[in-house]
């Protein structure tokens, strides 16, 4: 980046060229970039495929360029044609390379005449990594099949042939057909009153990166939560969802007050089946969300604050490569905290922040030094692996540090200025830093040294003076936990009736890694954690119960891991169980039954874990001989 040379970034600096390219895409944006995509797709449930045409409008950058290189993954390409200014098609030669793990197949289209647009007829594969197809029996209401996408990080290429890099932005339109009575939604403004007539049109007028392409189709009802917001979910879920997310309108207004207008028009939320592999995904105009946050007391709705915040940090100002992902997730996690504080108060916001801080402190110590950096280099082979707690929690901690050093008033103005300055652009860490230097660090001299900024962004670990908020309630829970563990306080004498979700999470998080079995049994007898409807509490409880050797928790843990495909809530159960040979044998059975209901990403994550565990057991067995 040119900007880099104007900065004295000191010892941590890396060659500029290493940052600019996106190693997770075959695209050659210096030659040509996609400006607009027109999709004409059919949702074909019986064949589990999207089938149709993608027309890519191109902006040629290099007069000598010979080809258009696209990312694809498991796509069946039927034809590739050039479309000239008059709309006349001409067949083009193309080659589809062999599949490379985590990258897919490079599609090279010979196009020395630089056509205005290229038209690709294609179909997706039934096991596209970015799509999950569910049979009616796997849905809540069991009436219709269901389809949803998850494109971030590099899975858009498994359902659209395109340049799959967050640095490249395009507008798009889609015409989608589906069986009658099925509702189709996409990451563009959706009409809550749309007829279920099998034909849908979507227009995204803002330039967006490929990872924000999204589609879902199924038995979807709609409930409005405000003048510009609604929830979409299966009919039996939509009422609960509308109640849990009733503050969405207030959240939008709060964020606008802090950082300027919401620029996308409508903001809707789609609640997916429990196999959705993430908590939430910030698809423009239509956040995709896990149903595991529907616990009835709004205690987990900061997930909506988070995905909404991405409408500024991420969707408006986007990380240019997956190395820069902390720009999306770290700044968003900071903004999420501000929304939560404004709407639900300081106690709630502080507790959520402290949970993240304590977990990060615990985990970061055991990470390789490179993984402790906000900007790891060298990079991971799979873009999904570039994401870790560091991007979220160290990133947001850095933002809170800036807030503290410069004061809310100046820092809020700075952040609003940052969103406006880079609006609709994809930027690198170094571009962000140049703006930060000019508009905060140098503007208010004496508050924070540039070496401190560098330590946060390029250094390992957490700087020593990182601010930690006070929580008297968490302090009290630390005391209760200690008294419970040393036997001076019986489980049924814990003050847990007054604990909210986050306080339970905190109590469980800081239990010993392998707690005494008797203590876990006492806790369960008093508070009935086994079978809890709150999956955040359940995940933590099952992990500790399993580690303590409490076999009685296995069936409920298995039920949790079978029903929920959200990686963050399910993988810890698998990880706890593979530690012992008996647990491993048990969980292999669980997976055999669960895997048909899992998303491709969840399936792959469990298989990867099993392979590692087998290797470790093999080594242990060899060592024992
Ligand atoms: N954009 C992420 C989800 C994501 C990141 C998917 C990278 C694939 C690759 C989303 O905004 C997110 O952070 N979701 C969290 C929500 C939580 C922090 C409130 C999740 O899914 O747990
Ligand atoms: Zn996020």
Cα 17 to Cα 31: distance, rounded to the nearest angstrom? 16
Report the separation in Å between the CA atom of 222 and the middle of ligand 2, taken as the mean of its atom positions: 24
- Does the structure show a pLDDT above 90 at 379? no
For ligand 1, whether the C-beta of 278 sits within 6 Å is: yes
Chain-wide mean pLDDT for the chain? 95
Ligand nearest to the CA of 152: 1
pLDDT at 5: 34
- How is residue 90 annotated by DSSP? E
Phi first, then psi: give them for residue 497, nearest 5 degrees: -60, -30
For ligand 1, whether the C-beta of 209 sits within 6 Å is: no
pLDDT at 622: 65
What residue ranges in 21-104 does DSSP mark as E strands? 32-44, 49-60, 67-72, 76-83, 89-91, 94-96
Average pLDDT for residues 83-104, to the nearest whole number? 93
- Does the structure show a pLDDT above 50 at 1? no
Residues 395-441: tens digit of each pLDDT: 999 999 999 999 999 999 999 999 999 999 999 999 999 999 999 99
Average pLDDT for residues 534-548, to the nearest whole number? 98
Active-site residue 307, yes or no? Answer: yes
Cα 198 to Cα 617: distance, rounded to the nearest angstrom? 52
Ligand nearest to the CA of 332: 2
For ligand 1, whether the C-beta of 393 sits within 6 Å is: no
Residues 159-192: tens digit of each pLDDT: 999 999 999 999 999 999 999 999 999 999 999 9
Residues 190-215: tens digit of each pLDDT: 999 999 999 999 999 999 999 999 99
Of residues 263 and 624, more confidently modeled: 263
Active-site residue 452, yes or no? Answer: no
Give me the DSSP letters along 495-542: -GGG--HHHHHHHHHTS-SS--HHHHHHHHHHH--TT-S-HHHHHHHH
Report the separation in Å between the CA atom of 568 and the middle of ligand 1, taken as the mean of its atom positions: 10
CB 535 within 8 A of CB 542: no
Ligand nearest to the CA of 383: 1
- How is residue 598 annotated by DSSP? S
Q: Is 172 helix (H, G, I), strand (E, B) or coil?
A: strand
Average pLDDT for residues 99-121, to the nearest whole number? 98
Taking the domains of the chain in order of start, what are their residue ranges? 3-128+145-178, 317-458, 472-624
Structure tokens, 263: 């620029």
Cα 589 to Cα 595: distance, rounded to the nearest angstrom? 10
3-state secondary structure 178-243: CCCCCEEEECCCCCCCCCCCCEEEEEEEEEEEHHHCCEEEECCEEEEEECCEEEEECHHHHHHHHH
Cα 580 to Cα 587: distance, rounded to the nearest angstrom? 10
Give the residue from 322, 360, 317, 320 showing the smallest Cα distance to 335. 317
pLDDT at 533: 97
Cα 473 to Cα 540: distance, rounded to the nearest angstrom? 19
% of the chain with per-residue pLDDT over 70: 96
For ligand 1, whether the C-beta of 426 sits within 6 Å is: no
Structure tokens, 333: 């996690």
Within 10 angstroms of residue 446's Cβ, the number of other Cβ atoms is 6
For ligand 1, whether the C-beta of 155 sits within 6 Å is: no
Q: Is 13 helix (H, G, I), strand (E, B) or coil?
A: coil
Residues 23-40: tens digit of each pLDDT: 999 999 999 999 999 999
Q: Is the pTM of this model over 0.85?
A: yes
Average pLDDT for residues 478-485, to the nearest whole number? 98
Q: Is 45 helix (H, G, I), strand (E, B) or coil?
A: coil
The CATH code of the domain at 3-128+145-178 is: 2.60.40.1730
pLDDT at 624: 54
Cα 331 to Cα 59: distance, rounded to the nearest angstrom? 31
Report the separation in Å between the CA atom of 6 and the middle of ligand 1, taken as the mean of its atom positions: 33
Ligand nearest to the CA of 601: 1
Q: Is 449 helix (H, G, I), strand (E, B) or coil?
A: coil
CB 184 within 8 A of CB 217: yes
Q: pLDDT confidence of 510, banded at 50, 70, 90?
A: very high
- Does the structure show a pLDDT above 50 at 67? yes
Question: Is residue 183 exposed (0-12), middle (13-18) or buried (19+ Cβ within 10 Å)?
Answer: buried
HSE of 306 in the Cβ direction (CA atoms, 13 Å)? 21
pLDDT at 623: 58
For ligand 1, whether the C-beta of 386 sits within 6 Å is: no
- Does the structure show a pLDDT above 50 at 621? yes
- How is residue 380 annotated by DSSP? P
CA 226 to chain centre: 25
- Does the structure show a pLDDT above 80 at 91? yes
H/E run at residue 35: strand 32-44
3-state secondary structure 256-283: HHHHCCCCCCCCEEEECCCCCCCCEECC
Average pLDDT for residues 340-356, to the nearest whole number? 98
Q: In sequence order, what are the beta bridge partners of 180?
A: none
Q: pLDDT confidence of 372, banded at 50, 70, 90?
A: very high
Within 10 angstroms of residue 436's Cβ, the number of other Cβ atoms is 20
pLDDT at 20: 54
Residue showing tokens 């909404």: 308
Report the separation in Å between the CA atom of 307 and the middle of ligand 2, taken as the mean of its atom positions: 6
β-strand pairing of 76-83 with 89-91:
antiparallel
Give me the DSSP letters along 121-171: EEE--TT-TTEEEE-GGGSSS-SS-EEEE--TTTTGGGTS-B---TT-EEE
Residue showing tokens 């990451």: 187
Report the separation in Å between the CA atom of 332 and the middle of ligand 2, taken as the mean of its atom positions: 6
Q: pLDDT confidence of 8, banded at 50, 70, 90?
A: very low
Residues 575-605: tens digit of each pLDDT: 999 999 999 999 999 999 999 999 999 999 9
Q: Work out the angle at residue 221's Cα, subtended by the Cα atoms of residues 218 and 226, and round it to the nearest 5 degrees.
A: 130
pLDDT at 494: 98
Average pLDDT for residues 32-60, to the nearest whole number? 98
Cα 7 to Cα 431: distance, rounded to the nearest angstrom? 10
- Does the structure show a pLDDT above 90 at 385? no
Cα 461 to Cα 104: distance, rounded to the nearest angstrom? 34
For ligand 1, whether the C-beta of 571 sits within 6 Å is: no
Q: pLDDT confidence of 87, banded at 50, 70, 90?
A: confident
Q: pLDDT confidence of 15, banded at 50, 70, 90?
A: very low
Reported residue count of the chain is 625
Q: pLDDT confidence of 378, banded at 50, 70, 90?
A: confident
Cα 350 to Cα 347: distance, rounded to the nearest angstrom? 5
Residue to substitute in 329, 334, 339 for testing ligand 1 pocket (most ligand atoms within 8 angstroms of CB): 329
For domain 472-624, give the fold.
Answer: 1.25.40
Q: Is 564 helix (H, G, I), strand (E, B) or coil?
A: coil
- How is residue 104 annotated by DSSP? B
For ligand 1, whether the C-beta of 281 sits within 6 Å is: yes
Cα 599 to Cα 15: distance, rounded to the nearest angstrom? 38
pLDDT at 381: 85
The residue from 334, 392, 542, 574 that is catalytic is 392
Report the separation in Å between the CA atom of 519 and the middle of ligand 1, taken as the mean of its atom positions: 34
Residues whose Cβ atom is located within 5 A of ion ligand 2: 329, 332
Cα 64 to Cα 69: distance, rounded to the nearest angstrom? 14
| Least confident among 13-22, 345-354, 510-519 | 13-22
- How is residue 441 annotated by DSSP? I
- Does the structure show a pLDDT above 60 at 509? yes
Cα 408 to Cα 228: distance, rounded to the nearest angstrom? 29
Q: pLDDT confidence of 85, banded at 50, 70, 90?
A: confident
Q: Whose alpha carbon is nearest atom 10 of ligand 1?
A: 281
CATH classification for the domain delimited by 317-458, as one of 2.40.50.100, 3.60.15.10, 3.40.50.720, 1.10.390.10: 1.10.390.10
CB 187 within 8 A of CB 213: yes
pLDDT at 618: 83
């Amino acid at each position: 980046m040119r900007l880099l040379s104007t900065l004295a970034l000191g010892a941590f600096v890396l060659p500029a060229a290493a940052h600019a390219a996106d190693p997770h895409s075959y695209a050659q944006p210096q030659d040509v970039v996609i400006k607009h995509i027109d999709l004409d797709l059919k949702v074909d449930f019986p064949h589990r495929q999207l089938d149709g045409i993608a027309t890519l409008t191109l902006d040629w950058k290099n007069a000598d360029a010979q080809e258009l290189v696209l990312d694809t993954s498991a796509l069946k390409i039927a034809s590739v044609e050039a479309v000239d200014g008059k709309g006349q098609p001409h067949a083009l030669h193309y080659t589809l390379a062999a599949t490379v793990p985590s990258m897919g197949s490079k599609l090279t289209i010979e196009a020395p005449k630089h056509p205005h647009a290229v038209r690709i007829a294609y179909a997706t594969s039934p096991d596209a990594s970015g799509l999950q197809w569910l049979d009616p029996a796997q849905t809540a209401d069991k009436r219709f099949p269901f389809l949803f996408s998850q494109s971030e990080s590099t899975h858009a290429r498994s359902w659209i042939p395109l340049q799959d890099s967050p640095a490249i932005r395009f507008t798009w339109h889609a015409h989608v057909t589906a069986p009658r009575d099925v509702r189709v939604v996409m990451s563009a403004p959706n009409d809550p009153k749309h007829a279920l007539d099998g034909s849908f049109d979507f227009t995204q007028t803002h330039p967006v990166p490929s990872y924000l392409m999204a589609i879902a189709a199924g038995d979807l009802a709609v409930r409005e939560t405000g003048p510009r917001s609604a929830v979409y979910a299966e009919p039996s879920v939509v009422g609960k969802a509308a109640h849990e997310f009733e503050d969405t309108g207030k959240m939008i207004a709060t964020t606008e007050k802090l950082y300027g207008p919401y620029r996308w028009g409508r903001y809707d939320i789609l609640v997916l089946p429990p196999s959705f592999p993430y908590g939430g995904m910030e698809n423009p105009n239509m956040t995709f969300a896990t149903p595991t946050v529907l616990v009835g007391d709004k205690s987990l709705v900061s997930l909506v604050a988070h995905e909404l915040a991405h409408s500024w940090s991420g969707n408006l100002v986007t990380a240019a490569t997956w190395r820069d992902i902390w720009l999306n997730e770290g700044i968003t996690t900071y903004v999420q905290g501000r929304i939560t504080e404004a709407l639900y108060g300081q106690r709630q916001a502080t507790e959520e922040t402290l949970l993240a801080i304590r977990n990060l402190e615990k985990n970061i110590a055991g990470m390789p030094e490179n993984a402790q950096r906000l900007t790891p280099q060298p990079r991971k082979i799979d873009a999904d692996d570039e994401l870790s707690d560091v991007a979220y929690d160290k990133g947001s901690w850095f933002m809170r540090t800036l807030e503290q050093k410069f004061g809310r008033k100046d820092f809020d103005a700075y952040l609003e200025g940052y969103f406006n300055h880079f609006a609709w652009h994809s930027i690198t860490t170094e571009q962000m830093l140049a703006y930060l230097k000019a508009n905060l660090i140098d503007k208010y001299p004496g508050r924070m040294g540039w070496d401190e900024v560098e330590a946060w962004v390029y250094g390992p670990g957490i700087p020593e003076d990182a601010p930690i908020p006070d929580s008297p309630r968490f302090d009290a829970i630390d005391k209760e936990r200690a008294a419970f563990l040393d036997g001076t306080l019986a489980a049924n004498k814990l003050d847990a009736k007054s604990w909210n979700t986050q306080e339970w999470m905190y109590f469980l998080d800081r239990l010993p890694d392998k707690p005494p079995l008797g203590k876990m049994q006492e806790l369960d007898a008093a508070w009935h954690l086994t079978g809890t409807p709150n999956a955040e509490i359940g995940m933590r409880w099952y992990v500790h119960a399993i580690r303590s050797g409490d076999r009685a928790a296995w069936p409920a843990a298995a039920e949790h891991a079978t029903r929920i495909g959200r990686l963050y809530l399910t993988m810890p159960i698998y990880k706890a169980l593979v530690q012992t040979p008996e647990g491993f044998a048990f969980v292999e059975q669980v997976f055999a039954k669960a895997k048909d209901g899992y998303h491709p990403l969840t399936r792959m994550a469990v298989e990867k874990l099993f392979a590692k565990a087998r290797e470790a057991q093999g080594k242990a067995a060899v060592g024992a001989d």
